[in-house]
Amino acid sequence: MTLPRRLAAPASTWERDFDVVILGSGAAGLSAALAARPVRSALVVTKDVLSAGSTQWAQGGLAGVLDPTDTIENHVRDTLTAGAGLCDEAVVRELVTEAPKSIRYLMRLGAAFDPEQGSQDIALTREGGHSHNRIVHSGGDRSGAEVQRTLDESAIGAGVEVLSRAFALDLVLGTTSDGERQVAGVRIGQTNADGQLVSVGVVTARAVVVACGGYGQVFASTSNPPAVTGDGVAMALRAGLSVTDVEFVQFHPTVMWRGPDATGQQALVSEAVRGEGAILFDAAGERIMAGVHPQEDLAPRDVVSAAVSRRMAEAPGGVDDHVFLDATHMGERFYERFPSITEACREIGLDPAVDRIPVAPAAHYACGGIRAELNGRTSLPGLFAVGEVSSTGVHGANRLASNSLTESIVAGTRVGRDLAWELPDKVRPDPDFEDPMAPPLLDPARLREVRAVMSRHVGVIRNEMSLSSAAGALGAIANGMTGSASTSGESFGDPELGDKTPVRPSRRTWEGTNLLTVAVAMVAAARARTESRGCHRRTDYPESSDAWQTHLDVSLDAAGEVAVDGAPDAG
């Protein structure tokens, strides 16, 4: 099976130049833009509108040590424990040390975090895997929306330019005078509000910051909004970079279950609800987490999702696709503490003050991605990666709750500040960057199949049989990508193959192709990792193995074949 090494699009007709171009407009991208802006021209490219990504939807909040009885060491230890042996301890310590500062920075920018009742102090709550209360929140469960609002206003106010409905297609590479490969810019597909192609252009820049988020939409059911389609990871693979730890997809244990046919983005029921004492029950009324882990319902997320999945497989009370979260002990206090979740419950006719909430695990967070330092630096000069798209060593095999917004602010601000101080040298794009070849694009009609395959075979619990079925099905879909778009944009389909179906360049066909690319990479890594660790759980290898306390790198070769590196030698 081969995957496209570039996204098909017509030749470019316009060009712009900036010091720094940032791909993605969530907490990480906007923090980077804001920090670079005082001395640099900075363009934020978003394929939709600024708030279309995951940040806007984050409920829990930001983790940071603000309580005098808590310590940096506690937060480090909790992060390492959740990460199941694959975190980089030095990077975790850097993040955790800067976390309180990053929260105070957001407050100085105007973010309003909820105070303790009857006090001026910021309220701190707890989520799975945390030994102390250390999560700041806003509007009850509207924490991400407040972070997004604050950064939108700050970045625009600082003069950051925004290019909306602009799809980052592929990196444009150049060569330095020393013969080294370096990023020279990015090809952009400008679309209309329906995602139809309007024009193609090139933004050249001395630094490209990828902050495109994760890839939850590769699964049939996810807490992620529709825009989260793995664009950054797929782009990096096509540019010849390897991506790390992509088998570790975190499934949130309590995503609202709205019936067997509900697909796409589902309402999250924040872990903070369990932080307030809510308890998981199966359909027969038995507790799920009692006796499974010392922290019971507040065990790390991978542990809870696996326990819920195992219980659903036993079909207690004849129910095998959801369980129940009971927060009725909160009574009407629930409405004020969790207004978004209250709204989502009411939409399905439930009152969380008196009813148990039906929930099931769903894809939530990509722990892996483009390998980068905490200041965003990657192996490709001029290319930086921050936020969920990156793999910095903070999250390991399973991210600790509410460390992600914190990481986005810390890493985004670091990369922006570093680029304010110093930019890479300018390189000219290679002359052949507009390859006349027209590689295939995925027909959006087949995306439903990709998602169904991933949810059926590559979910919370996996094994060689399920993963090889997924690989076969994805291979058939990839091999079926024939009728590709011509780069002239005039003729579509391959008549020699009898394919009359046009697969035109558009937001949907680019997103679909990116999702297929990420799905194939993820399955290859998940097959290679013959152990269970963090959020990668296999029934055929149920234990973690010391030999596997290592990272896997996935790359695309020149022909578009996936390769996995880093597995320990057999025997």
- Contacts of 478 by beta carbon, 8 Å cutoff, 6+ apart: 1, 2, 3, 516, 520
Smallest gap from residue 310 Cβ to ligand SIN (A): 20
What are the b/e assignments for 55-94, b being 16+ CB within 10 Å?
A: bbbbbbbbbbbbeeebeeebbbebbbbbbbbbbbeebbbb
Smallest gap from residue 405 Cβ to ligand SIN (A): 7
User: Which residue lies nearer to ligand SIN by CB, 218 or 304?
Assistant: 304
Smallest gap from residue 59 Cβ to ligand SIN (A): 4
In the block, which residue shows the tokens 């700041």? 136
Q: Which residues are registered as beta bridge partners of 45?
A: 23, 163
Distance CA 253, CA 256 (A): 9
In the block, which residue shows the tokens 């693979």? 237
Length of the chain: 571
Neighbours of 479 (CB within 10 A): 11
Name which of 46, 268, 18 is nearest 151 in CA terms: 46
User: Which residue lies nearer to ligand SIN by CB, 62 or 202?
Assistant: 62
Phi, psi (rounded to 5 degrees) for 80: -65, -40
Smallest gap from residue 60 Cβ to ligand SIN (A): 3
Residue pair 5/170 in contact by the 8 Å Cβ criterion: no
DSSP designation for 431? T
Smallest gap from residue 141 Cβ to ligand SIN (A): 7
Active site includes 134? no
Q: CA of 25: how far to CAs of 155, 264, 286, 377, in Å?
A: 10, 21, 43, 19
Distance CA 551, CA 568 (A): 10
Distance CA 320, CA 454 (A): 18
User: Which residue lies nearer to ligand SIN by CB, 150 or 404?
Assistant: 404
User: Which residue lies nearer to ligand SIN by CB, 278 or 522?
Assistant: 278
User: Which residue lies nearer to ligand SIN by CB, 268 or 279?
Assistant: 268
Smallest gap from residue 145 Cβ to ligand SIN (A): 13
The single residue of 149, 206, 301, 451 carrying the catalytic annotation is: 301
Which spans of this chain sit near ligand SIN (rule: CB under 6 A)? 59-60, 127, 268, 270-272, 365, 401-402, 404
User: Which residue lies nearer to ligand SIN by CB, 19 or 407?
Assistant: 407
Distance CA 337, CA 359 (A): 19
Which active-site residues does the annotation give?
Answer: 301
